[in-house]
Structure 1
Amino acid sequence: MSDNSVSDSPTPQRADTPSADRTGYRGTKVRRQRVRAAWLFLTPMLLSLLIVAAWPLLRTFYLSFTDASLSDTTGGMFIGFENYLVHDDGAWYGLLADPVWWTSVWNTVYFAVVSVSLEVVFGIIVALLLNAEFKGRMLVRAAVLIPWAIPTIVSAKMWAWMLNDQFGIINHLLMLLGIIDAPLAWTADADLSMWAVIMVDVWKTIPFVALLVLAALQMLPSDCYEAAEVDGIHPLKVFFRVTLPLITPALMVAVIFRLLDALRVFDVIYVLTSNSTSTMTMSIYARQQLVEFQDVGYGSAASTLLFLIISFAVVIYLYLGRRQLGVEQ
Structure 2
Amino acid sequence: MEQTSALTRKRVRAAWWFLTPMIITLAMVAGWPLLRTFWFSMTNATLDGSGVAEFIGFDNYFIYEDGEFYGILFDPTWWQAVWNTLYFAIVSVSLETVFGIVVALVLNTKFKGQGLVRAAVLVPWAIPTIVSAKMWGWMLHDQFGIINDFLMTLGLIAAPLAWTADSDLSLNVVIAVDVWKTTPFMALLVLAALQMLPSDCYEAAKIDGIHPVKVFFKVTLPLIMPAVMVAVVFRALDALRVFDLIYVLTPSNEATMSMSVYARQNLVDFQDVGYGSAASTLLFLIVALCTIAYLYVGRKSMNEGN
Q: Which amino acid aligns with 1:248?
A: M
1:26 deviates by: 2.2
Instruction: Please give the alpha-carbon distance, in whole angstroms, between the structure 1 residues aligned to 2:287 and 2:202.
Output: 39
1:294 deviates by: 0.4
In the alignment, which of 148, 151, 156 is matched to residue 128 of structure 2? 151
Which moves more between the two structures, 311-320 or 223-232?
223-232
Instruction: Please give the alpha-carbon distance, in whole angstroms, between the structure 2 residues aligned to 1:274 and 1:254.
Output: 30
Structure 1 ranges of 4+ moved more than 3 A: none
Instruction: Please give the alpha-carbon distance, in whole angstroms, between the structure 2 residues aligned to 1:49 and 1:322.
Output: 26
In the alignment, which of 224, 233, 246 is matched to residue 201 of structure 2? 224
In the alignment, which of 238, 248, 253 is matched to residue 271 of structure 1? 248
Match of 2:146 in 1: 169
Please say if residues 286 and 299 of structure 1, whose CA atoms lie closer than 8 Å, have aligned partners that are also in contact.
Answer: yes
User: Which SS does the other structure have where 1:140 is aligned?
Assistant: helix
Q: Which amino acid aligns with 1:281?
A: S
Q: Which amino acid aligns with 2:125?
A: W
Match of 1:250 in 2: 227
Match of 1:205 in 2: 182
In the alignment, which of 105, 114, 123 is matched to residue 137 of structure 1? 114
Distance 1:74 1:231, change over 3 A: farther
Distance 1:292 1:236, change over 3 A: same
Instruction: Please give the alpha-carbon distance, in whole angstroms, between the structure 2 residues aligned to 1:226 and 1:73.
Output: 72
User: Which SS does the other structure have where 1:87 is aligned?
Assistant: strand
Match of 1:11 in 2: none
Instruction: Please give the alpha-carbon distance, in whole angstroms, between the structure 2 residues aligned to 1:27 and 1:274.
Output: 63
How do 1:37-186 residues align onto structure 2 when only pairs under 5 Å count? 37-72=14-49, 75-186=52-163
Instruction: Please give the alpha-carbon distance, in whole angstroms, between the structure 2 residues aligned to 1:115 and 1:28.
Output: 48
In the alignment, which of 191, 210, 229 is matched to residue 168 of structure 2? 191
Q: Is there any run of 5+ residues in structure 2 with no aligned partner, and where?
A: none
Q: Which amino acid aligns with 2:224?
A: I
Please say if residues 73 and 296 of structure 1, whose CA atoms lie closer than 8 Å, have aligned partners that are also in contact.
Answer: no
How do 1:247-326 residues align onto structure 2 when only pairs under 5 Å count? 247-326=224-303
1:110 deviates by: 0.2
Output one character per residue of 1:57-100: Cα deviation in whole Å (capped at 9) or x when no partner.
Answer: 00111111111111228821111111001110011100011000
Instruction: Please give the alpha-carbon distance, in whole angstroms, between the structure 2 residues aligned to 1:301 and 1:192.
Output: 30
Matched positions, count = 305
User: Which SS does the other structure have where 2:64 is aligned?
Assistant: strand
Output one character per residue of 1:203-244: Cα deviation in whole Å (capped at 9) or x when no partner.
Answer: 000000000100111111111211222222211111111111
Q: Which amino acid aligns with 2:93?
A: V
Distance 1:140 1:260, change over 3 A: same
User: Which SS does the other structure have where 2:260 is aligned?
Assistant: helix
Instruction: Please give the alpha-carbon distance, in whole angstroms, between the structure 2 residues aligned to 1:43 and 1:73.
Output: 40
Q: Which amino acid aligns with 1:277?
A: E
| TM-score, reference length from structure 1 | 0.90
Please say if residues 46 and 273 of structure 2, whose CA atoms lie closer than 8 Å, have aligned partners that are also in contact.
Answer: yes
Q: Is there any run of 5+ residues in structure 1 with no aligned partner, and where?
A: 1-23
Please say if residues 129 and 245 of structure 2, whose CA atoms lie closer than 8 Å, have aligned partners that are also in contact.
Answer: yes
User: Which SS does the other structure have where 2:69 is aligned?
Assistant: strand
Q: Which amino acid aligns with 1:32?
A: R
Instruction: Please give the alpha-carbon distance, in whole angstroms, between the structure 1 residues aligned to 2:16 and 2:51.
Output: 36
